[in-house]
Amino acid sequence: MEVQKTALYNYHKDLGAKFVSFAGYEMPIQYKDGIVKEHISTRSYAGFFDVSHMGQFFLEGDETLAGALEKIIPADLKSLKLNHSKYSFLLNNDGGIIDDLIITKTSKGFCIILNAACKENDVKQIEKFLNKDHKYFLNNDLSLIALQGPKAVEILEKLVPGVSNLKFMTGDNFKFDNENLYITRSGYTGEDGFEISIPNNKVEKLISFFKENKVNAVGLGARDTLRLEAGLCLYGHDLNEKINPIEANLKWAIAKRRREEGGFNGWDVIKKLIENGSEKKRVGILPEGRVIARENTKIFSESGEEIGLITSGTFGPSVNAPVAMGYINTKYANIGTKIHLEVRGKKHGGKVSELPFFKKSYVK
Partner 1 sequence: MSEKKFSKKHEWVSLDGETATVGITKHATEMLGDIVFVEVPEPGKSVEKDGQAAVVESTKAASDVYSPISGEILEGNKSIVDDPGNVNSDPEGASWFFKIKVKDKSEFDTLMNKADYDKFCAENPS
Question: Applying CB under 8 A, does 102 fall inside the site for partner 1?
Answer: no
Question: Applying CB under 8 A, does 13 fall inside the site for partner 1?
Answer: no
Q: Compare residues 91 and 232 and give the one whose CB is closer to partner 1.
A: 232
Q: Which one of the spans 31-39, 199-207, 256-264, 333-341 is the region binding partner 1 (CB under 8 A)? A: 31-39
What residue spans of 32-81 are helical by DSSP H?
35-44, 64-69
Residues 231-270: x where in contact with partner 1 by CB under 8 A, - otherwise, as a string: ----------------------------------------
Q: How far apart are CA 299 and CA 190, in angstroms?
A: 26
> Under a CB-based contact definition with an 8 Å cutoff, are residues 309 and 293 in contact?
no
Q: Closest distance between partner 1 and the C-beta of residue 290, in Å? A: 5
The correct pick among 6, 30, 249, 353 for binding partner 1 (CB under 8 A) is: 30
Q: Is the peptide bond before 356 cis (omega within 30 degrees of 0)?
A: yes
The correct pick among 230, 292, 307, 328 for binding partner 1 (CB under 8 A) is: 292
Q: How far apart are CA 356 and CA 337, in angstroms?
A: 17
**How many alpha carbons lie under 13 Å from residue 90 in its C-beta half-sphere?**
23
Q: Closest distance between partner 1 and the C-beta of residue 188, in Å? A: 17
Helices (H) and strands (E) in the chain, counts: 9, 19
Q: How far apart are CA 269 and CA 246, in angstroms?
A: 10
Question: Applying CB under 8 A, does 315 fall inside the site for partner 1?
Answer: yes
The correct pick among 74, 149, 193, 322 for binding partner 1 (CB under 8 A) is: 322
The correct pick among 314, 318, 337, 353 for binding partner 1 (CB under 8 A) is: 314
Q: How far apart are CA 59 and CA 114, in angstroms?
A: 13
Residues near partner 1, by CB under 8 A: 29-30, 34-37, 221, 225, 290-292, 294, 314-315, 317, 322, 344
